[in-house]
Amino acid sequence: MPTPFSQPEKPLNSFAPRLLDWFETDGRHDLPWQQHQTDRPNPYIVWLSEVMLQQTQVKTVLPYFARFMDSFPTVQDLAAAEWDTIAEHWAGMGYYARARNLHKGAKQLVDVINETGDYPQTLAAWEAISGVGPSTAGAIMAMGLHKYGVICDGNVKRVLTRWAAIDGDITKSATTKQLWVLAERLTPKENSGLFAQAMMDMGATLCVRRSPNCQLCPLREDCIAHAEGRETDYPVKAKKKPKPSKFSNALIIENNDAEVLWLQRPDNGIWGGLWSLPLEFVEKVTANKATKLAEAQPKKLQVSSNEKVYETEFTTAEQIIHEWLEENKLVAESVSNTLLDDAPIKHSLTHFHWYLQPQKLVINEAKSTELNEKLSAAQIAFKWLDKQKARDSLGLPRAMIKIIEV
């Protein structure tokens, strides 16, 4: 009798054995966080890698994982580390809230270990750790503890929607529930860690977004999407609205010692806890179709003209600097009159595109002392470092690295 997944019982029952046979011969067995070949798995390693792998590819994660393991070989080391050290290790990988949750989660895990003598042993206990959702918790249970656990991350959703022709929008809760039910139905009670790794490998190496390698897939005989020649129609996801754009001047404020002013971003918001040049948001005057984006004239946001937007877009430190510059009639100049004016540095984030225009201002010792006093009085975290020292010692977002490389 047909199932709610448009697949009869026989393919459902043979799904895991076929996948595990494929994984044994063709799967990845050399990733540094894999625990399926160990007798005593390490949940710390699995937790760390799973957090890093959220929205980030394996090839990007590998060097970051190695650096973290060198510097923080145990969860106690990670919990005891200063945030700036963790931020510096994470810088460039993006989605920085993960790093904040990682640090907070490490402290929570140490508390659990101190209280119970071991890592959390249940799905609910892992989901109580900051930044750990149902799929990450399932992966840790299955691969980090060798217990039963189910995963349903992006790779798994792609495999399942194609194999079972699930045509609901995967951003909707009803489709998510359906996929979780199917994932639970297919996951074997024994070797769920092997199965989880096999599903990840399937989605990462064969059942990829574009040009899936169906000829090597152990599930192709009963994959409905393959039978219909519609592999790339799945998973179904509503079209995203075009991302809006924001525009900022990135102020390279330099003192007499050729040191640049760096501000630590607030914990919440974009680049939380990382270090950045002061940013000065601007509004772009609408250009007609014949005018290039870069030719649209920028207009600085003013407190009097748009107080709500000003306070939303400028951090406290940036408001102080912005007002100090205006009081002293100081104007930063573009570092280039050609390339950067024609093509600002573009940095795409989850919800918008950000165009950053580097501008430079050199101030004398008296002015730098005055600015220091204003920032210190407001308890702003700031440092004066040359570009190379900043790159070597601070956690800088990739956008800031792009700017200092110009």
Report the CATH number that the domain containing residue 131 is assigned in CATH. 1.10.340.30
**Domain for residue 2, yes or no?**
no
pLDDT at 310 over 70: no
pLDDT, one tens digit per residue, over 220-255 is 999 999 999 999 999 998 887 888 888 888 999 999
Domain shared by 305 and 163, yes or no: no
Rounded mean pLDDT, 128-140: 96
Confidence (pLDDT) at 227: 95
**Domain for residue 1, yes or no?**
no
Q: What residues have CB less than 8 Å from 318, skipping those under 6 apart?
A: 263, 278, 279, 280
**Domain for residue 239, yes or no?**
no
Residue 93's region, left for phi above 0, alpha for psi from -120 to 50, else beta, is alpha
Domain shared by 324 and 178, yes or no: no
Token pair for 371: 């600015």
- State the Cα–Cα distance between residues 114 and 339, nearest whole angstrom: 56
Domain shared by 176 and 322, yes or no: no
Domain shared by 216 and 357, yes or no: no
**Domain for residue 238, yes or no?**
no
pLDDT, one tens digit per residue, over 14-36 is 999 999 999 999 999 999 999 88
Nearest to 283 by CA among 297, 271, 303, 294: 297
Domain shared by 90 and 221, yes or no: yes
Confidence (pLDDT) at 3: 47
pLDDT at 290 over 50: no
Domain shared by 222 and 84, yes or no: yes
Rounded mean pLDDT, 43-52: 97
Residue with tokens 């699995």: 46
Q: Is the pTM of this model over 0.75?
A: yes
Active site includes 50? yes
Last residue of a domain, which of 200, 233, 266? 233
pLDDT, one tens digit per residue, over 161-200 is 999 999 999 999 999 999 999 999 999 999 999 999 999 9
CATH of the domain at 263: 3.90.79.10
Last residue of a domain, which of 189, 204, 233? 233
Residue 78's region, left for phi above 0, alpha for psi from -120 to 50, else beta, is alpha
Residue with tokens 């009803």: 174
Domain shared by 126 and 37, yes or no: yes
Domain shared by 381 and 250, yes or no: yes
Domain shared by 202 and 259, yes or no: no
Last residue of a domain, which of 191, 209, 233? 233
Confidence (pLDDT) at 4: 54
Number of domain units in the chain: 2
| Catalytic choice (9, 50, 127, 259) | 50
Domain shared by 49 and 145, yes or no: yes
**Domain for residue 118, yes or no?**
yes
- State the Cα–Cα distance between residues 193 and 35, nearest whole angstrom: 8
Domain shared by 178 and 323, yes or no: no
pLDDT, one tens digit per residue, over 113-126 is 999 999 999 999 99
- State the Cα–Cα distance between residues 251 and 257, nearest whole angstrom: 17
Helices (H) and strands (E) counted in the chain, each on its own, are: 18, 9
H helices within 27-140, ranges in order?
A: 43-52, 58-71, 75-80, 83-90, 97-116, 123-127, 134-139
Q: Which residue has the higher pLDDT, 208 or 307?
A: 208
**Domain for residue 293, yes or no?**
yes
- State the Cα–Cα distance between residues 400 and 275, nearest whole angstrom: 9
**Domain for residue 3, yes or no?**
no
Domain shared by 317 and 378, yes or no: yes
* C-alpha distances in Å from residue 197, one per residue of 19, 35, 112, 182, 361: 10, 10, 27, 17, 52
Range of the domain at 376: 245-404
- State the Cα–Cα distance between residues 12 and 70, nearest whole angstrom: 42
Mean pLDDT, all residues of the chain: 88
Residue pair 158/199 in contact by the 8 Å Cβ criterion: no
Q: What residues have CB less than 8 Å from 205, skipping those under 6 apart?
A: 28, 213
